[in-house]
Structure 1
Amino acid sequence: MNKILVLGGSGLLGTAIINQMNNYSNFDVYSTYFQNPMLFNQHKSFKLDICELDNINNILNNLKPDIIVSCLRGDFNKQLIAHIKIAEYLKHNGGNLYFFSTANVFDNDLSKPYYEDDFPNSHTDYGKYKIKCENTIKEILQDSACILRIPQIWGKNSPRMKQLLKSLNSNEDIVVYPKLFHNTNTDIMVARQLCYIINNNLKGTFHLTSEDVVNYKDFYNELIKGLGGNNSRIQENFEEKGYFALLSKRNNEFPKELRLTNKLVINYLINLH
């Protein structure tokens, strides 16, 4: 049985991952939180402050995880130090690290979508932090590090969904970008894809994303229409343009039921309400 520690387990993605992993008899799942205590698996959750290295060391040394999944958030520099400590622990004791990264590692040039083997280049602090984390983790752990880049993530309880529903109910402006193309995934699908990667011992970098790219405005219009927001207030912003999107050369490594399009994401969200 694999003893798995999910860092940032109380967030959107962490919660979905824990719920999915609990369906597998070969996973013994533990998690960390910072501000919001876990509502489930409370006896297997630990408060983690990335500012305190002793706190991180105590959790690792007491739990002795075989696999660590990182969905951490917080101060970039402190996160980097924490990930170095985690990677060094796994290198010394054996184990794999699954690190969630982002499309922002490519945000310096939005002229095209990006694949796993494209060279990351960012102009934002967030993107630069993720690139540094990716490179440092891979340098320490080599093949025992798996980089999982994700696009815009939606879910039943995602901040994006909550804000959209609030705007529709309150008749507030909804900002869309007619000149921007992007793609998406759901928290549930990412969790299922991660479990498949772990169970099949897949290695390297993955873009866990839809198989297609869609216009930002068109995506929102179709989603809003499906949610019954026919009289919604749409505000168009033409400043953001280009592609903020990930594509994958590794889709064929997943079974059909673990591959999706932006249309399927929209249908999933509509059927939740």
Structure 2
Amino acid sequence: MHKVLVLGGSGLVGKAIITELNKCKEFETYATYFQIPIPLNQNRIVKLNIEGLDNINSILNTIEPEIIISCLRGNYDKQLILHTKIAEYLKKSSGRLYFCSTTNVFDNDLTKPHYEDYLPSSCTEYGKFKIDCEKRITGILHDNACILRLPQVWGKDSPRMKELLKSLTNNEKVIIYPKLILNTITDVVIAKKVSYIIQHNLKGIFHLAADDIISYKDLYNELIMGLGFNNADMEENFEEEGYFAILSKRNNEFPEQLGLTNKSVITYLIN
């Protein structure tokens, strides 16, 4: 039995990972939350406020996790300190850290999609913060740090989906970016891939994304039509352009049933 601690367990990705790991008898899953309750045994959840980092050592020493999955959000400086402490804790016991990163680590170059072996370069505070975390974690844990970069994440109950449905229901304008190319993934598929990575002790950097890319306009047109809003008020914005997308060279390391296309993401969301 391996003790797993999910940081940020009340978020979209965190909740999906907890649900998936609970299917595996080899994992004893714990999770942190800040305000929103987590659907988990009350003895296995603990409140973590990254604005006050005093309790992270207590959490680690009490639970003694062998594996930590970070889906945290919040203040960048505090997160960097917290992830440093976590990495240093895991180093003592050869534990593993799985860190959720982002497409934004490549947002300084939108001329092409990016793969795992491309050098990150960001022009945004968010992207630079994630790069700093990636470097800090891997510098301490080396092969025991696994970087999980994510594109635009969707789920049936995701904030992105809720916001879109709210706009459509209220006949509000939906902004479309015809010149932007991207890719997506669902919370459920992220969770299944993370579980597979952990169980098979896969290492390094993973781009957990659909196997293909799609234009922002096509994605939203197909999704909105599939949801039954044929007369939606959509406004095109041509200011954002380029490839805000990651692709993977490691898809052959996963079973075929974990493959994903943007079309299958749309199908999942509308059914």
CA distance in 1, matches of 2:84, 2:112: 32
- Structure 2 match to 1:47: 47
Offset from partner CA, 1:23-46 (integer Å, 9 cap, x none): 000010000001213243222100
SS at match of 2:40: coil
Deviations 1:207-230 (A, max 9, x none): 000000100001100011110010
Matches for 1:44-83 after TM superposition, within 5 Å: 44-83=44-83
Letter in 2 for 1:73: R
1:266 is matched with 266
Q: Secondary structure at the match of 2:99?
A: strand
CA distance in 2, matches of 1:249, 1:126: 25
The DSSP-based 3-state class of the residue aligned with 1:157 is coil
Aligned-partner residue type, residue 170 of structure 1: N
RMSD (Å) for aligned C-alpha atoms = 0.7
Q: Give the partner amino acid of 1:43.
A: N
Tell me by how many angstroms 1:70 deviates.
0.1
Q: What TM-score, normalized to structure 2? A: 0.99
Question: Equivalences for 1:1-273 in 2 at 5 Å?
Answer: 1-271=1-271
Q: CA deviation at 1:54?
A: 2.3
Q: CA deviation at 1:132?
A: 0.3
Q: For residue 256 of structure 1, what is the amino acid of its counterpart?
A: E
Deviations 1:174-221 (A, max 9, x none): 111000000000000000000000000000000000000100001100
Q: Distance in 2 between matches of 1:88 and 1:253?
A: 29
Residues 55-80 of structure 1 show CA distances to partners (whole Å, capped at 9, x for unaligned) of 00000001100000000000000000
Q: State the secondary structure of the residue aligned to 2:54.
A: helix
The one-letter code sitting in structure 2 at the alignment partner of 1:38 is I
For residues 220-258 of structure 1, what are the alpha-carbon distances to aligned partners after superposition, in whole Å with 9 as ceiling and x for unaligned? 000111100101000111000000000000000011111
Q: How much does 1:156 deviate?
A: 1.0
Amino acid aligned to 1:228: G
Q: For residues 220 and 51 of structure 2, what CA distance do their matches in structure 1 show?
A: 38
Summarize deviations over 1:122-155 as a string: whole Å, max 9, x none: 0100000000000010000000000000000000
Give every structure 1 segment of 4 or more consecutive aligned residues whose post-TM-superposition deviation is greater than 6 Å.
none
Amino acid at match of 2:150: I
Between the two proteins, what is the percent identity of the paired residues? Answer: 63
Letter in 2 for 1:141: L
CA distance, structure 2, for counterparts of residue 211 and residue 245 of structure 1: 11
Q: CA–CA distance in 1 between the matches of 2:14 and 2:204?
A: 21
Give 5+ residue unaligned stretches, structure 1: none
Q: Which amino acid aligns with 1:90?
A: L
Local SS of the residue matching 2:115: coil
- Mean Cα deviation higher: 38-47 or 252-261: 38-47
Provide the C-alpha distance between the structure 2 equivalents of 1:205 and 1:12, rounded to a whole number of angstroms.
21
- Following the alignment from structure 1 to structure 2, what is the Cα–Cα distance between the partners of residues 252 and 129? 30
What 5-or-longer segments of structure 2 have no aligned partner?
none
SS at 1:53 equivalent: coil
1:39 and 1:66 map into 2 onto residues whose CA distance is 22
- 1:162, 1:238 → 2: CA distance? 24
- Tell me which amino acid in the other structure corresponds to 2:236: E
The number of residue pairs the alignment matches comes to 271
